[in-house]
Every structure is written in structure tokens, then in C-alpha cells.
Amino acid sequence: MEAYLGVDVGSVTTKLALISAEGDLVSAVYLRTQGKPIAMVQEGLHQIKQRLPSGIVICGVGTTGSARYLAGVILGADLVKNEITSHAVAALHYVPDVQTIIEIGGQDSKIIIIRQGVVVDFGMNTVCAAGTGSFLDHQALRLGVSIEEFGRRALESRTPVRLAGRCTVFAESDMIHKQQLGHRIEDILYGLCQALVRNYLNNVGLGKEVLSPVVFQGGVAFNRGIVCALEESLSTKIIVPPHHEIMGAIGVALLVMEECSLRPSQFKGFSVSQMIYGTSSFECKTCANLCEIAQISQDGKVLARWGGRCDLWERATVN
């Protein structure tokens, strides 16, 4: 049985998805990156191997996410793709008539506008944490509420409080003030959900035409309080697809399935999970941009370089 592996390496989580030639999810792994993308890719590969049904052959590997080039070098990826395309392909796979994709992760958030099956616009937030999952994690910790029960308790709110949501610092000080006034924890939790949604729509979604069907993906989609706050703000039903937390990995797996249908895979095999790699960087002084170039090596040999505004180092022969 042929299968295709998609790997999405983000700043907070690392996701692996194995799909069949029919596009069905065979197995998946969801790990915390913990600032160790190489180790987590190797651990994810090890876990996928352990769960691999007998008779399955990996016919293609694709990588996406902020560390997609790094993961691509380690695995011998056949395709390295950006997150926008990967998330769009996965959403279209599960909801073919989708017109708007809301994706909220741990450290960044995105909006993707699709018309007639084609991405026509997108927006990203990689600077302010107030529209991301880390905002909820931090405030939940401050309130002594686990992130797992956050959504359930938020939905028990009867009179949600309005919190300043444009900045995590202001939101936290406002939240403390509301606690001191005696507001219920449930009302503060749903107020935080509303604040995150307001920040997302006013920042990432600013100027974007949000049309139904709206698909919500990313780890934050587990939080039913955020889903409810989105439906309230947009006055439309929000679709949370199956496997929403690994959609980037599923999307790049679907893309590599098309890519590898006519040629053999470059996948290095499961043995790479046992290899030792090193990463380093240097400043390129070829021009005034002074780009920071990242490189990965094994046994003292540089395997690949990337990160410049041009492709000078990516084209350079690695000896």
C-alpha cells in the first residue's frame, strides 16, 4: 500500500501526517517542538515508524511550517511548501466549497481567502501574541485554569466581561482588574475568547472579505469558547474539520502525493531518526542586506544552507 508523509514543523508544535493514495489519514503524530525542531522531527519519524501498518511503503515526503527547509534536508523531502498553500489544500480536501480559512496556532495566525478553489488573498500575524494560542495559554496559567478546560468553562459564562485585547500586557492588567472587582472566572474566560477574536479580526482579518463557508483550523480550534466567539462576531457557522490540528501536515502530504506520482521519492528512510545533526549560522557579507544564513551539517559536512533574501547560498555547492 502506497502512503505519503507530510511534516509540519512550527515554533510550538511539530505534526506528522501519513495519508494513503486515496487521501485518507493512516496515522498522525502531534508533538511539542520545545525549541528542538531536529529532535522532534526525528522523534515524530520514530513514532510514525512504530505505528506503520504492515505492507505500507512511503512513496513521498513533503515539509511545511517555519522549519520546513530544515526538516526537508533531514528527511530528503520531495517537496517543501509554504503554510498558506498547505493549509488551503487540506481545507479544500475536507470542505471543497470553503471560502475563508481561519488558522490560529501557538505563535502565529493566518487568514486565507479562497474563491472557486483558488487562494486569492491571505494575511498573517507573526508579531503580536494577542491573536494566538500563546495568549490563551498564558492567561489560563495566570487564572489557574488548564488549557484543556478553558473552552468548557468559558461556555458557562452568563455575563462575559469586556477585556482590552489589542495587547497581551493590557489584557492581563485588565483581567487582573476584573478579578479584583469580583467577576466570575467563567465570564473572564469568555471575555478572553472575545478579546482574542477581536484582535484576530482587527489585525489579521483587516480588509479581508470573510465569506461562508468558514473553516477554522489549528490547535486553538480545540477551544469551543473561541469557536463560539468567532460565530458570534462573524454571524455565521464555523466549520471545524476533522484533524484540524494537523491540517498543514495533511495538506503538504496531499501535495507531495501529486508531485511524486511520476517519479521515485528522495526520502532518506527511517534511519535518519538515529542520526546526529548540527545547526549553525553566519552573516553573509556579499551585499548590504547582511542576511543571516542558516546551515545544517552532519559529521562536520554541511548538507544545506538557506535563509538569504536571494538564493546565493541555496545555489552554492556544498562540499
DSSP β-bridge partners for residue 190: none
For residue 17, is pLDDT > 80?
Answer: yes
**Same domain assignment for residues 206 and 194:** yes
Mean local confidence (pLDDT), 237-242: 96
Mean local confidence (pLDDT), 25-30: 95
Residue 213, preceding bond cis, omega within 30 degrees? Answer: yes
Residue 252 CA, distance from chain mean position: 12
Q: C-alpha grid cell for residue 239?
A: 466549520
In the chain the first and final C-alpha atoms are separated, in Å, by: 37
What Å distances lie between residue 309 and 37, 125, 219, 290, 305, CA to CA?
A: 22, 20, 31, 9, 12
DSSP 157: -
At what angle are helices 83-94 and 247-259 packed, to 10 degrees? 90
For residue 112, is pLDDT > 80?
Answer: yes
Domain boundary among 191, 220, 240: 240
Report the C-alpha gap between 218 and 235 in whole angstroms.
Answer: 21
| H or E element at residue 282 | strand 278-283
Can you give the pLDDT at residue 225? 94
Domain boundary among 190, 217, 240: 240
State the residue for C-alpha cell 527511517.
Answer: 270
Band the pLDDT of 123: cuts 50, 70, 90.
very high
Report the C-alpha gap between 211 and 111 in whole angstroms.
Answer: 12
Residues 47-58 pLDDT 10s: 999 988 888 999
**Same domain assignment for residues 252 and 236:** no
Q: How many domains does the chain have?
A: 3
Q: What is the CATH number of the domain that holds 136?
A: 3.30.420.40
Mean local confidence (pLDDT), 59-70: 91
For residue 131, is pLDDT > 90?
Answer: no
Can you give the pLDDT at residue 133? 75
**Same domain assignment for residues 270 and 282:** no
**Same domain assignment for residues 47 and 60:** yes
Band the pLDDT of 311: cuts 50, 70, 90.
confident
**Same domain assignment for residues 261 and 130:** no
Band the pLDDT of 317: cuts 50, 70, 90.
low
**Same domain assignment for residues 198 and 265:** no
User: Can you say whether residue 65 is alpha, beta or left, with left for phi > 0 and alpha for psi between -120 and 50 degrees?
Assistant: left
Can you give the pLDDT at residue 107? 75
**Same domain assignment for residues 74 and 180:** no
Residues 135-181 pLDDT 10s: 788 888 888 888 888 989 999 999 998 887 566 667 778 888 888 88
**Same domain assignment for residues 126 and 192:** yes
Can you give the pLDDT at residue 309? 80
Can you give the pLDDT at residue 260? 83
The dihedral over CA atoms of 81, 102, 45, 302, expressed in degrees to the nearest 10, equals 40
**Same domain assignment for residues 159 and 268:** no
**Three-state DSSP class for residue 80:** strand
**Same domain assignment for residues 161 and 212:** yes
- Residue 114 φ then ψ, to 5°: -120, 135
Residues 250-308 pLDDT 10s: 999 999 998 887 788 899 999 988 888 888 889 999 898 899 888 888 877 888 887 77
Share of the chain above pLDDT 70, in %: 95
For residue 127, is pLDDT > 70?
Answer: no
Stronger pLDDT, 39 or 130, i.e. the higher one? 39
The length of the chain is: 319
**Same domain assignment for residues 113 and 212:** yes
Domain that holds residue 88: 2-94+248-274
Can you give the pLDDT at residue 122? 95
Report the C-alpha gap between 161 and 195 in whole angstroms.
Answer: 10
State the residue for C-alpha cell 492581563.
Answer: 172
**Same domain assignment for residues 283 and 163:** no
